[in-house]
């Protein structure tokens, strides 16, 4: 039997679109809580929270992706990502699903998503009738990438 | 790489052995005839060699091997220790250290050590030529080392054997063979030793205990046992241990009785002859030779410790703090519910967690010895270079400090010690002329007092000349002549640590001290400590450093800026004040206040940190007066909350350095508060 490589991913929602983060990187999903603002940092850095004794930075993915910033709702979640050197949290509209994404159906990111050209989307997978975007976390965390995106938004 | 998980252990242990080499070499220099020290050095070098070879660091292994040869010659009285030899060995140890550092930094530890190796070989050979006991013996020695079966007993061991016989004990040579499938050989050996210790005393073993522990033997080992028990009892007790294949017990007589010895050695008849020769050749070898009993003794002193990565301790600490926060909530709930049983349980929990906290905090404490132990070596080198005689006396090396402080305090201390040697202690002839002992005393002392640790460096050297310091300070514009008249001695001495007091090239003109001492002062202050100087001209000086016990817990003033809470370290606060807004003046577009006759610039935290506005401005402003060195500034905040002890945490790598923020802490309610870095706010 041919081996099918799948990528287990957590599906998150941002502005009605679905994105995937590999489960192996996710350290936990927390409810929205008080975030201590850290001054003089990028605007998408919302601040820090106390995550079981560790001070953990929190990013607002809506802000990061140049979407409209909304007030947190009941379904707003903080996804904790375990990276090699540090943990970090993403604020997302909702997190509700774990999917096995067959790697063979992942296509490279189309040049144009919506109207903005972005580098933080690694690929797109079509699962049944859902379109799921796979995030490149390095790029998501990169301040440079954010600056580039902001510039493009301004041009428009 | 498969080895990588061992690499860290290797590096740590190598460092320990190198340190021990340094220590013991210094000892040896003072008492060149102490064979115990030579043995100690030899063992460290030997272990290092073994480890390096196992890990595949050939150069490291080679150099240690050459060093070991020299030491072995010393140990066997073929070579007399002198200062030159020690110098070369020190050089070798330095190279070893460099190699280990290289390995720690990801290198392969390769270094060109040809010259050193040549020197070591020369030392080794020189002796062989001049000594009566020539190569022949050295050959014998080698074979002897390889197969020695208790012929090389030292005086001490022989004495024990004799005594035991007089008392009617019997001596047995027991050869034990382990099962071929035995997995944990060292553990089996341990069990054998333990059961033997119950019925008698193990005098010696072959291979040595060290080698047995390191599993550096095949399947067979032999021990020499003094016991009251008979053969059968011994056999019984050993055969009870599993994975023992066979046991052979022979009576052992200590007399240089050829028959007996050859009996023991009958497995290796060819070497036997050599060994006999060795005995006849160099009786002194037996008398003054290896101190293997010391080996056993030093083994038993070693502490029962394990190495724990500091990150894990931090993790433990973090989780524990969370527990403390929850405990607080629980206490509140139980107070509300007024359930006696619940209250009792919560109280117990509070007590236990209090104990737990102090244990966790203690685990991070390390003896200051870790820093101090490199100084004897440094002082030796420096005093040699400077042509001075110095006697370094270390007191209180066991004093414990937080690991983070230990890491930082090394360089300032090096600086101060160099300073004392260079400018404090005089040359021998000057000292003699001044009616002092030729050898100067340098005392390094550490002790606890209250919540602080003090480290003092004192010398009986020239001391500080008040007038010269004042002249210098005035000419460099650090103080004015009027100011100088009112200064106490201590204030004057403190001048030598102010920046801009002295430059390196001029330093020798002045009373002596001064170069880079401002750096020392800054480092110590950044650690939350302070430094003071006492001195008496002609008698000596004392530098006293006061340090906090730990860096991870600091006292802060919690303040509120609009709705946000910030912590300001108490160490940088001079005082707090509430001022009327109309007292704020404008100078060059900057807000300032008149504070006790001084014009102090104001910094609005709200503006600096771009805090969202929520409240209306009130008529009064709360101001925290902070300082950086001599400069003052006032921070405008909305409210003082109070003083608190907090645990310092970093903001993490992702955010990196944030302007004006030195870290964060978790408050009693579980929320994060940022700690203000006052130094960056004043420029």
Task: Write down all domains in chain A, each with its CATH number in brackets.
Answer: 6-155 (2.40.50.180)
Tens-digit pLDDT profile for residues B75-93: 777 777 777 788 888 888 8
Residue B445: predicted pLDDT: 92
Residue A93: predicted pLDDT: 92
The reply to whether B647 and B514 lie within a common domain is no
Tell whether A5 lies on the interface with B, counting CB pairs under 8 A.
Answer: no
Collapse the DSSP code of B141 into the 3-class scheme (helix H, G, I; strand E, B; otherwise coil) and give the result. Answer: helix
The H-or-E segment that residue B226 falls in is strand B220-227
Tens-digit pLDDT profile for residues B575-613: 999 988 888 888 888 888 888 888 889 998 888 888 887
| Residue B138 domain flag | no
| Residue B640 domain flag | yes
Its domain, for residue B332, covers 310-364
Q: What is the mean pLDDT of residues B280-304?
A: 44
Q: Above 80 in pLDDT, residue B623?
A: yes
ipTM confidence score: 0.85
The reply to whether B256 and B276 lie within a common domain is yes
Distance CA B680, CA B677 (A): 6
DSSP assignment letter at B114: H
Contact A36 B654 (CB under 8 A): no
Tens-digit pLDDT profile for residues B395-444: 988 888 887 788 888 888 888 888 888 888 888 888 888 888 888 889 99
Q: Do B354 and B320 form a contact (C-beta atoms < 8 A)?
A: no
Query: Contacts of residue B649 in chain A, CB cutoff 8 Å?
Result: 54-55
| Residue B141 domain flag | no
Nearest residue of chain A to residue B656 (CA atoms): A41
Collapse the DSSP code of B481 into the 3-class scheme (helix H, G, I; strand E, B; otherwise coil) and give the result. Answer: helix
- Optimal mutation site among B323, B609, B655, B681, interface A, most CBs of chain A within 10 A: B655
The reply to whether B373 and B321 lie within a common domain is no
Is B284 catalytic? The answer is: no
Alpha helices in B148-184 (DSSP H): 155-166
Q: Above 50 in pLDDT, residue A123?
A: yes
Contact B666 A55 (CB under 8 A): yes
Last residue in a domain, options B99, B131, B163: B131
- Optimal mutation site among A27, A50, A83, interface B, most CBs of chain B within 10 A: A50
Tell whether A39 lies on the interface with B, counting CB pairs under 8 A.
Answer: yes
DSSP states along B483-514: HHHT--HHHHHHHTTSTTS--GGGTTTSSS--
The reply to whether B395 and B540 lie within a common domain is yes
Q: Above 90 in pLDDT, residue B67?
A: no
Distance CA B83, CA B73 (A): 16
Nearest residue of chain A to residue B565 (CA atoms): A36
Q: Above 90 in pLDDT, residue B195?
A: no
Give the C-alpha distances (Å, rounded to integers) separating B248 from A124, B309, B405, B646.
75, 45, 56, 65
Q: Do B550 and B361 form a contact (C-beta atoms < 8 A)?
A: yes
Contact B652 A38 (CB under 8 A): no
| Residue B289 domain flag | yes
Distance CA B527, CA B404 (A): 9
Least CB-CB distance to A40: which of B317, B659, B664?
B659
Q: Give the range among A91-95, A114-118, B137-141 with minimum mean pLDDT.
A: B137-141
Q: Which one has a higher pLDDT value, B202 or B158?
A: B202
Nearest residue of chain B to residue A85 (CA atoms): B653
How far away is chain B from the Cα of A36, in angstroms, using its nearest Cα? 6
Contact A52 B654 (CB under 8 A): no
Contact A39 B658 (CB under 8 A): yes
Residue B245: predicted pLDDT: 79
Residue B149: predicted pLDDT: 53
Query: In the predicted model, what is the mean pLDDT of chain B?
Result: 76
Of the candidates B46, B124, B144, B465, the residue annotated as catalytic is: B46
The reply to whether B65 and B198 lie within a common domain is no
How far away is chain B from the Cα of A130, in angstroms, using its nearest Cα? 33
Residue B152: predicted pLDDT: 60
Tell whether A51 lies on the interface with B, counting CB pairs under 8 A.
Answer: no
How far away is chain B from the Cα of A105, in angstroms, using its nearest Cα? 33
- What pLDDT band is residue B134 in, cutting at 50, 70 and 90? very low
The reply to whether B387 and B456 lie within a common domain is yes
Tens-digit pLDDT profile for residues B526-561: 787 888 888 888 888 899 998 877 767 778 899 998
Q: What is the mean pLDDT of residues B355-378?
A: 84
The CATH number of the domain holding residue B14 is 1.20.120.160
Contact A45 B655 (CB under 8 A): yes
Contact B658 A34 (CB under 8 A): no
Contact B655 A40 (CB under 8 A): no
Is B419 catalytic? The answer is: yes
Tell whether A53 lies on the interface with B, counting CB pairs under 8 A.
Answer: yes
Give the C-alpha distances (Å, rounded to integers) separating B152 from B107, B261, B606, B644.
41, 11, 80, 66
Q: Do A125 and A105 form a contact (C-beta atoms < 8 A)?
A: yes
| Residue B638 domain flag | yes
Residue B140: predicted pLDDT: 36
Residue A154: predicted pLDDT: 66
Q: String of b and e for B616-644 (b: at least 16 CB within 10 Å)?
A: eeeeebbbbbbbeeeebbbbbbbebbeeb
CA proximity to B422, closest of B518, B543, B521, B507: B507
As for how many domains chain B has, the answer is 5
Q: Give the range among B152-156, B350-354, B512-516 with minimum mean pLDDT.
A: B512-516
Task: Provide the token pair at A135.
Answer: 């995030």
Residue B264: predicted pLDDT: 42
Residue B254: predicted pLDDT: 53
Contact A38 B658 (CB under 8 A): yes
- What pLDDT band is residue A153 in, cutting at 50, 70 and 90? low
Query: Contacts of residue B311 in chain A, CB cutoff 8 Å?
Result: none
The reply to whether B319 and B402 lie within a common domain is no
- What pLDDT band is residue B234 in, cutting at 50, 70 and 90? confident
The reply to whether B525 and B563 lie within a common domain is no
DSSP assignment letter at A110: P
CA proximity to B636, closest of B585, B552, B588, B579: B579
Query: Contacts of residue A85 in chain B, CB cutoff 8 Å?
Result: 653-654
- Optimal mutation site among A30, A38, A53, interface B, most CBs of chain B within 10 A: A53
| Residue B302 domain flag | no
| Residue B169 domain flag | yes
The H-or-E segment that residue B622 falls in is strand B620-628
Nearest residue of chain B to residue A49 (CA atoms): B672
Backbone angles phi, psi at A143, to 5 degrees: -70, -35
The reply to whether B526 and B394 lie within a common domain is yes
DSSP assignment letter at B617: P
CA proximity to B537, closest of B423, B646, B442: B423
The reply to whether B173 and B112 lie within a common domain is no
Last residue in a domain, options B319, B341, B364: B364
Last residue in a domain, options B342, B364, B386: B364
- Optimal mutation site among A42, A47, A48, A58, interface B, most CBs of chain B within 10 A: A48
Contact B661 A50 (CB under 8 A): no
Contact B564 A37 (CB under 8 A): yes
Q: Above 50 in pLDDT, residue B660?
A: yes
Residue B659: predicted pLDDT: 87
The reply to whether B127 and B167 lie within a common domain is no
Q: What is the mean pLDDT of residues B471-483?
A: 78
In this structure, how many other beta carbons lie within 10 angstroms of the beta carbon of residue B680? 15
- What pLDDT band is residue A91 in, cutting at 50, 70 and 90? very high
Reported residue count of chain A is: 156
Q: Above 90 in pLDDT, residue B568?
A: yes
The reply to whether B385 and B511 lie within a common domain is yes
Is B46 catalytic? The answer is: yes
| Residue B305 domain flag | no
């Amino acid at each position: 039997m041919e081996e099918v490589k799948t990528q287990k991913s957590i599906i998150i929602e941002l502005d009605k679109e679905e994105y995937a983060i590999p489960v192996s990187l996710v350290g936990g999903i927390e409810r929205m809580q008080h975030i201590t603002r850290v001054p003089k940092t990028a605007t998408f850095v919302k601040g820090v929270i106390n995550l079981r004794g560790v001070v953990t930075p929190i990013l607002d993915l809506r802000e990061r992706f140049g979407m409209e910033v909304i007030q947190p709702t009941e379904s707003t979640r903080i996804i904790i990502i375990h990276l090699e050197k540090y943990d970090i949290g993403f604020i997302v509209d909702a997190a509700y699903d774990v999917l096995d994404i067959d790697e063979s159906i992942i296509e490279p990111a189309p040049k144009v998503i919506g109207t903005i050209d972005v580098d933080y989307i690694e690929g797109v997978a079509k699962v049944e009738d859902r379109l799921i975007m796979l995030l490149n976390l390095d790029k998501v965390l990169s301040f440079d990438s954010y600056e580039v995106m902001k510039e493009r938004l301004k041009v428009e | 790489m498969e080895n990588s998980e061992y690499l860290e252990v290797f590096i740590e242990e190598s460092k320990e052995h190198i340190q021990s080499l340094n220590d013991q070499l210094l000892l040896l220099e003072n008492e060149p005839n102490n064979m115990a020290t030579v043995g100690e050095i030899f063992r460290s070098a030997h272990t290092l060699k073994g480890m390096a070879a196992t890990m595949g660091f050939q150069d490291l292994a080679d150099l240690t091997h050459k060093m070991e040869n020299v030491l072995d010659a010393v140990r066997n009285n073929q070579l007399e220790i002198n200062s030159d030899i020690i110098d070369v060995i020190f050089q070798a140890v330095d190279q070893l250290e460099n190699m280990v550092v290289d390995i720690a930094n990801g290198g392969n530890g390769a270094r060109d050590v040809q010259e050193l190796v040549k020197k070591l070989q020369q030392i080794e050979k020189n002796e062989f030529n001049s000594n009566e006991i020539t190569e022949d013996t050295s050959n014998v020695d080698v074979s002897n080392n390889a197969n020695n079966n208790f012929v090389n007993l030292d005086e001490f061991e022989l004495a024990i054997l004799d005594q035991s016989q007089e008392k009617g004990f019997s001596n047995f040579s027991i050869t034990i063979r382990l099962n071929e499938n035995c997995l944990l050989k060292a553990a089996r050996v341990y069990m054998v030793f333990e059961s033997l210790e119950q019925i008698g005393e193990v005098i010696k073993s072959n291979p040595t205990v060290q080698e047995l522990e390191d599993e550096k033997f095949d399947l067979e080992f032999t021990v020499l046992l003094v016991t009251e028990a008979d053969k059968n009892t011994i056999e019984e007790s050993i055969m009870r241990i599993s994975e023992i294949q066979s046991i052979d017990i022979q009576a052992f007589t200590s007399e240089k009785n050829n028959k007996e010895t050859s009996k023991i050695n009958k497995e290796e008849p060819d070497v036997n002859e050599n060994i006999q020769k060795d005995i006849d050749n160099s009786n002194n070898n037996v008398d003054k030779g290896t101190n293997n009993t010391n080996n056993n003794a030093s083994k038993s002193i070693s502490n029962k410790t394990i190495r724990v990565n500091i990150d894990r301790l931090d993790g433990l600490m973090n989780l524990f703090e969370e527990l403390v926060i929850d405990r607080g909530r629980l206490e509140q709930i139980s107070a509300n519910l007024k359930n006696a049983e619940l209250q009792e349980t919560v109280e117990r929990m509070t007590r236990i967690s209090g104990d737990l906290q102090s244990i966790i905090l203690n685990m991070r404490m390390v003896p200051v010895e870790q820093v101090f132990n490199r100084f004897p070596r440094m002082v030796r080198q420096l005093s040699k270079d400077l042509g001075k005689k110095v006697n370094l006396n270390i007191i209180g090396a066991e004093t414990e400090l937080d690991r983070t402080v230990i890491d930082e305090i090394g360089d300032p201390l090096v600086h101060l010690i160099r300073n004392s040697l260079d400018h404090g202690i005089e040359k021998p002839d000057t000292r003699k002329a001044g009616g002092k002992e030729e050898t100067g005393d340098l005392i390094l002392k550490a002790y606890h007092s209250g919540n602080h640790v003090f480290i003092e460096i004192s010398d009986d050297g020239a001391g500080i000349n008040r007038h010269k310091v004042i002249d210098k300070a005035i000419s460099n514009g650090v103080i004015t002549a009027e100011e100088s008249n009112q200064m106490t001695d201590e204030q004057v001495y403190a001048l030598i640590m102010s920046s801009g007091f002295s430059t390196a090239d001029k330093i020798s003109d002045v009373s002596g001290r001064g170069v880079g001492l401002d750096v020392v002062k800054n480092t110590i202050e950044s650690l939350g400590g302070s430094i003071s100087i006492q001195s008496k001209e002609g008698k000596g000086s004392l530098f006293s450093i006061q340090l906090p016990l730990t860096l991870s817990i600091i006292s802060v003033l919690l303040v509120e800026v609009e709705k946000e809470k910030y912590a300001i370290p108490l160490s940088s606060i001079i005082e707090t004040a509430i001022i009327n807004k109309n007292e704020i003046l404008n100078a060059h577009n900057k807000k300032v206040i008149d504070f006790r006759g001084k014009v102090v610039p104001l910094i609005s935290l709200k503006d600096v940190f771009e805090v969202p506005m929520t409240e209306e401005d009130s008529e009064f402003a709360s101001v925290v007066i902070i300082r950086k060195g001599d400069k003052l500034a006032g921070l405008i905040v909305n409210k003082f909350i109070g003083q608190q002890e907090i645990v310092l945490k970093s903001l993490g790598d992702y955010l990196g350095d944030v302007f004006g923020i030195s870290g964060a802490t978790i408050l009693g309610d579980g929320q994060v508060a940022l700690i203000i870095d006052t130094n960056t706010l004043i420029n």
